[in-house]
Amino acid sequence: MTKITKAVFPVGGMGTRFLPATKSTPKEMLPIIDKPLIQYAVEEAIEAGITTLIFITSASKHSISDHFDPLPMLSEKFEKAGKHHLVKKLQTLPINITRMFVPQGEPLGLGHAVLQAKEIVGDEYFSVILADDFIKPNGHNATKQLIDAAISKQASVISVEEVPDNRVSQYGIVDIGTATSEINSILSIVEKPSLADAPSNLGVIGRYVLSPKIFELLENTQSDKGGEIQLTDALAQLLNKPNNLYAATLNGKRYDCGHKLGYLQASIDSALEDKEISDQVKEFIKNI
Ligand code: G1P
């Protein structure tokens, strides 16, 4: 494999932690300042060389498709009024990018969502991006880091970061033994272990580059106790052979926007860097 051009965005989740905001709006459409989470994720993918976006959706997610559609009437109106900055804001996707929407059918877990992309991905390595793991776009591109590592290792690579003890049970956790560099071979991986059972504090972040072998493994992965097919369980089967699965240490700043606190932290951090409002935000925080 010399390049990776397809990215899968599982967006079929129910977003229960953000109800009622997510009753009719997908959580991936929640904005950090003025841009939805899904658009940050898509921009990261495109910057990393991805040209086909595959969204795995559920019934109430039409707004994600709408968001990436052109809006010619409004664009023309802004154009005529000389409001070019607004025209630019409406351009949410370059025209050379292909997008596809695949219904997940039932919300049966991340592994099940990824499996729905099997026919479109075919026999190629591909990227998986969970938009609610927001990685600040300045400087570090996690998807590009994984793609480069996968090409160099000719293997699957997933993004990891140390997580605090009280969060260990909310992540896939990997054991890499003694880290030797930024990219390390994975010895074991387990989905959401208790702190006592966790092999380390290295949590899997929502960025993956996977070999197409994963589809066959997912097809043969049993559902967990909650009835979900976990991607982590299929990844664990990749470890039957050596040098099949690597962990890349995330260099960027990430916020878990699947939780209220992470979402607020991401918003505050981004506001403090937004030229238009940062001074007023600082002043506001000082006086709050
Ligand atoms: C999923 C994965 C988990 C991973 C996490 C990253 O969990 O199952 O292994 O660590 O994404 O965000 P979820 O957040 O969907 O519960």
Residue with tokens 């969060």: 167
Residue 67 Cα to ligand 1 middle (Å): 25
The confidence score (pLDDT) of residue 264 equals: 97
Give, for 8, the enclosing helix (H) or strand (E). strand 6-10
The larger pLDDT score, comparing residue 105 to residue 42, is at 42
The confidence score (pLDDT) of residue 165 equals: 97
Residue 256 Cα to ligand 1 middle (Å): 10
Residue 178 Cα to ligand 1 middle (Å): 24
The confidence score (pLDDT) of residue 60 equals: 67
Where residue 163 falls among pLDDT bands split at 50, 70, 90? very high
Where residue 13 falls among pLDDT bands split at 50, 70, 90? confident
130 within ligand 1 shell (Cβ under 6 A)? yes
Three-class SS state of 281? helix
Q: What's the rounded Cα separation, in Å, for the pair 167 and 232?
A: 17
The confidence score (pLDDT) of residue 113 equals: 97
The confidence score (pLDDT) of residue 136 equals: 92
Give the number of the atom of ligand 1 that is nearest the alpha carbon of residue 132: 12
Q: Enter the tokens of residue 172.
A: 């896939």
15: pLDDT strictly greater than 90: no
Residue nearest to atom 12 of ligand 1 (CA): 206
Taking only the tens place, the pLDDT of each residue in 200-224 is: 999 999 999 999 999 999 999 999 9
206 within ligand 1 shell (Cβ under 6 A)? yes
Instruction: Report yes or no: 256 and 262 within 8 Å, Cβ to Cβ.
Output: yes
208 within ligand 1 shell (Cβ under 6 A)? no
Where residue 144 falls among pLDDT bands split at 50, 70, 90? very high
Residue nearest to atom 7 of ligand 1 (CA): 171
Pairing of strands 31-32, 35-36: antiparallel
Residue 174 Cα to ligand 1 middle (Å): 12
Q: What's the rounded Cα separation, in Å, for the pair 171 and 201?
A: 10
Domain boundaries, the chain: 6-287
The confidence score (pLDDT) of residue 139 equals: 78
* Angular region, 204: left φ>0, alpha ψ -120 to 50, beta rest: beta
pTM of the predicted model over 0.75: yes
Residue of 14, 204, 214 to mutate, ligand 1, most atoms within 8 A of C-beta = 204
271: pLDDT strictly greater than 90: yes
Where residue 180 falls among pLDDT bands split at 50, 70, 90? confident
Cα–Cα distance list, 227 to 112, 230, 277 (Å) = 11, 9, 45
Question: Taking Cα atoms as reference points, which of 123, 122, 103 lies closest to residue 113?
Answer: 103
233 within ligand 1 shell (Cβ under 6 A)? no
Max CA separation in the chain (angstroms)? 63
Taking only the tens place, the pLDDT of each residue in 107-129 is: 899 999 999 999 999 999 999 99
Least confident of 57-66, 161-170, 248-257: 57-66
133 within ligand 1 shell (Cβ under 6 A)? yes
Q: Which fold has domain 6-287?
A: Spore Coat Polysaccharide Biosynthesis Protein SpsA; Chain A (3.90.550)
Instruction: Report yes or no: 173 and 202 within 8 Å, Cβ to Cβ.
Output: yes
